[in-house]
């Protein structure tokens, strides 16, 4: 049922006249091909997706089909800067990039740059991307509605001590797909299940009504985290999902993401535990200050509690740390709650992935689709059963699709360089 609803929303998001009202945005990325193995050269990558950002130097070597990370540097973004002016933020980024170029001895060169910017944007071209809205605790003034490439270039020009070449804007899902694409050229889906969740895939150009042209394919960034923002998932949202939404900084948006991703899973579990305690089904009805505090039950606790061998022991240590008096049965109930919430997350995520796989298969008129998904994100990587449950559910919902999962090697670094390299190859071949 969830998969069928998302399928309808994909069509709405791709439609010429329905897209601006659609909850699932289906944004064109202007990435028109996956790697073909002939890409080569030196690239910079800039990855801004949370409280830190990274600057990387990436070398793509054609002979060995290798994407080598030469070096990288992490720069912190102070809390006050996340809420300050856009100019301050981009000046800070430009300064860190400058330091990095000096340390790498690249200062005199003008290298192409892949810019991974993990916030909802409307892309106008490969090098023009308008921020729709900040998420994840950012709220810099003067950036929403503006082209982030232009803001970056202006900040670099204000410094005047270096220059960059062509810029390719890269959504982190697209980077994930592309970083796997050099190793496996049948990779045409990218998926992230970490702090947030999102996916992209290669769609036929003739279905992308917002962009001129009928030929070939284009990568579509689904922004599936927004699925349900029009109320279409009301019947499967629980009272706990509603509280999580109410307490979040972006109430009413990213409905699907809030049921699935790492930023929220721990909080859902905490709310369930509070309720079970109030109903005197846990801890003899005795709560603790920590359990009553939002955010104190971390998502990583879920992975620790669900571990095959030490799970119960981990649960007991965590409960003790949270100031709770537990008995054996309490720790087992807590484990069951964690299992239920993470398992729901994996199945919902699988329903959405099955929608994409089935869509690609039908698009291409195939009885059987063989494809690869590049995956990234802490929930997928770190949780002991998440990926197994996800795969089993996808097999159930997309039986005619044979899907290989590849864990992405640094999508927002190497993948960003790969997007830039492919864009360059296409430009040189005269496609753009």
Catalytic positions: 136, 172
SS3 86: helix
Do 318 and 335 form a contact (C-beta atoms < 8 A)?
A: no
Distance CA 315, CA 104 (A): 45
Q: What angle do CA 378, 255, 260 make, to 5 degrees?
A: 25
CA separation, residue 322 to residues 48, 53, 292 (Å): 33, 32, 10
What is the 8-class DSSP label of residue 147? B
Alpha helices in 230-310 (DSSP H): 239-247, 255-260, 262-278, 299-305
CA separation, residue 306 to residues 292, 332, 337 (Å): 22, 10, 10
Distance CA 225, CA 200 (A): 12
Q: Residue 337: exposed, middle, or buried by beta-carbon count in 10 A (0-12, 13-18, 19+)?
A: buried
Q: Which residues on adjacent β-strands are paired with residue 217?
A: 204
- Nearest alpha carbon to residue 224 among 372, 117, 355: 355
Distance CA 411, CA 415 (A): 4
- Nearest alpha carbon to residue 115 among 107, 105, 104, 123: 123
Ramachandran sector of residue 242 (left: φ over 0; alpha: ψ -120 to 50; beta: rest): alpha
């Amino acid at each position: 049922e969830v998969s069928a609803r998302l399928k309808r929303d994909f069509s709405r998001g791709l439609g010429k006249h329905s897209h601006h009202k659609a909850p699932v945005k289906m944004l064109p990325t202007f990435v028109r091909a996956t790697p073909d193995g002939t890409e080569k050269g030196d690239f910079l990558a800039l990855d801004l997706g949370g409280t830190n950002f990274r600057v990387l130097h990436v070398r793509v070597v054609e002979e060995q089909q290798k994407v080598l990370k030469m070096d990288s540097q992490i720069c912190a973004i102070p809390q006050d800067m996340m809420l300050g002016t856009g100019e301050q933020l981009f000046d800070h980024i430009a300064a860190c990039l400058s330091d990095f170029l000096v340390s790498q001895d690249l200062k005199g060169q003008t290298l192409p740059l892949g810019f991974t910017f993990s916030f909802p944007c409307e892309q106008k071209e490969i090098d023009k991307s308008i921020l729709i809205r900040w998420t994840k605790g950012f709220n810099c003034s003067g950036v929403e509605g503006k082209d982030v490439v232009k803001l970056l270039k202006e900040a670099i020009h204000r410094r005047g001590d270096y220059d960059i070449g062509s810029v390719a804007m890269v959504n982190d899902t697209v980077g994930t797909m592309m970083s796997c694409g050099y190793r496996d050229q049948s990779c045409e889906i990218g998926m992230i299940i970490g702090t947030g969740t999102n996916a992209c895939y290669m769609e036929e150009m003739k279905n992308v009504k917002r962009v001129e042209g009928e030929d070939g394919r284009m990568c579509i960034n689904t922004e599936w985290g927004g699925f349900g923002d029009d109320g279409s998932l009301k019947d499967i949202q629980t009272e706990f999902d509603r509280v999580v939404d109410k307490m979040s900084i972006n109430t009413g948006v990213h409905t699907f993401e809030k049921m699935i991703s790492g930023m929220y899973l721990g909080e859902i579990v905490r709310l369930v535990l509070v309720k079970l305690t109030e109903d005197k089904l846990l801890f003899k009805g005795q709560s603790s200050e920590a359990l009553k505090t939002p955010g104190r039950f971390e998502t990583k606790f879920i992975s620790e509690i669900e571990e095959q061998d030490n799970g119960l022991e981990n649960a007991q240590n965590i409960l003790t740390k949270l100031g709770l008096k537990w008995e054996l049965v309490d720790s087992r109930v807590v484990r069951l709650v964690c299992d239920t919430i993470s398992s729901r997350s994996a199945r919902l995520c699988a329903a959405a992935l099955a929608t994409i796989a089935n869509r690609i298969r039908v698009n291409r008129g195939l009885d059987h689709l063989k494809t690869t998904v590049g995956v990234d994100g802490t929930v997928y990587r770190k949780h002991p059963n998440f990926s197994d449950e996800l795969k089993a559910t996808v097999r159930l919902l997309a039986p005619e699709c044979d899907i290989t999962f590849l864990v992405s090697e640094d999508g927002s670094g190497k993948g960003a360089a790969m997007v830039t390299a492919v864009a360059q190859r296409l430009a040189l071949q005269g496609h753009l």
